[in-house]
Structure 1
Amino acid sequence: MYDTILLPTDGSEATTDAAIHAFSHAEQYDATIHVLSIVELSSGPGTAGRDDEELDRRRRERMAAAERLVEAHAAEGVDSTTAVRVGSPARVIAEYMTEAGVDLAVMSTRARSGAKRFIFGSVTEQVIQASDTPVLAVQR
């Protein structure tokens, strides 16, 4: 049913909940799992987080976090790959799903409502709207 599963991670604890589901699905369907971490550049004025040294540091941190998820959750025999990309999370995730031929994305989401949801939005919700790929949203 699923050959390629995507687990986007922001390094938060909520991702751990999604990882449990993602790796379980990968094992059940003998699917390859892609763990994708995104370095989001600051959107404000200035160059915070945009210089090469800082960007490289953040990429290394994100790769290490993605590799820890694989080490903690991958069952023996589950093929996995890790990747780090730079950009807007929802856009990068949607692009990656197309590039990698993802059949299912498993994403964490926080239960927000009212003004907080309106102001902050939801990366998971944006991905659902931007992609034709099924998304399993795991609520924290």
Structure 2
Amino acid sequence: MYDAILVPTDGSEGVDRTLEHALEMARNHDATVHALYVIDRRFELAADEDRDDLIERLRDRGETAVAAVADAAADAGVDVVTDVREGIPYKAILQYADEAGVDVITMGTHGRTGRDRLAHLGSVTERIVENATVPVFVVNIGEE
């Protein structure tokens, strides 16, 4: 049923909780985990003289984030593919899912409600749930 499981990562601790579920699914279905970090295009707002340094730092952060997923997958005996891309996060995640032929996307949510939810409208997870063409497995990771 699941041959390819996408785990978008931002390197936060919440990803660890999401990854537990993704790795369990991968073990149960002999699937490959795809770890993806998206460098948010907001770096384009940085001053020209700061932009290259900012992109390099974000790329390093992304490589570290996908490496952490790869290490956990290796420890679990699960095949893994990693990628770091630039773009609008939810669009890049959906594009990757289509290109890689993933069967399910696993993501975390903070489970915000009320005013706190209103302050964070347009979350990446919410946009993925609304626009994905494959199932999205959402893990409540609470507040960090």
Structure 2 length-normalised TM: 0.87
Following the alignment from structure 1 to structure 2, what is the Cα–Cα distance between the partners of residues 36 and 9? Answer: 6
Other-structure match for 1:134: 135
> In the alignment, what sits opposite 1:27?
27
Task: Check 1:59–1:88 CA distance in 2 against 1; reply closer, same or farther (3 A cut).
Answer: same
State the SS of the aligned residue for 2:42.
Answer: coil
Q: Which amino acid aligns with 1:137?
A: V
For structure 1, which segment, 46-55 or 93-102, has the greater mean C-alpha deviation from structure 2 after superposition? 46-55
Q: State the SS of the aligned residue for 2:67.
A: helix
Structure 1 position 116, deviation (Å): 2.1
Does the CA-based 8 Å contact 1:42-1:49 persist in structure 2? Answer: no
- Could you tell me how far apart the structure 1 residues matched to 2:43 and 2:57 are? 18
Q: 1:136 to 1:48 in 2, by over 3 A?
A: farther
2:67 corresponds in structure 1 to 67
Does the Cα contact within 8 Å between 1:41 and 1:49 map onto a contact in 2?
Answer: no
Q: Is the 8 A contact 1:41 1:50 kept in 2?
A: no
Distance 1:116 1:31 in 2: 36
1:6 aligns to 2:11 (yes or no): no
Q: Provide the identity percentage.
A: 37
Equivalent residue for 1:54?
Answer: 54
- RMSD value over aligned CA atoms? 2.0
Distance 1:102 1:46, change over 3 A: same
Query: What's the secondary structure of 1:54's corresponding residue?
Result: helix
TM-score under structure 1 length normalisation: 0.89
> Within 5 A, what are the aligned runs for 1:115-130?
115-121=115-121, 122-130=123-131
Q: Which runs of 5+ in 1 are unaligned?
A: none
**C-alpha distance 49-4 of structure 1, shift in aligned 2 (>3 A):** farther
SS of residue in 1 equivalent to 2:138? strand
Letter in 2 for 1:33: V
- Please state how far the C-alpha of 1:52 moved relative to its aligned partner: 2.2
- The more displaced of 93-102 and 63-72 is 63-72
- Letter of the 2:87 partner, please give it: G
How many residue pairs were aligned? 139
The reply to whether residue 110 of structure 1 matches residue 114 of structure 2 is no
CA distance in 1, matches of 2:57, 2:25: 32
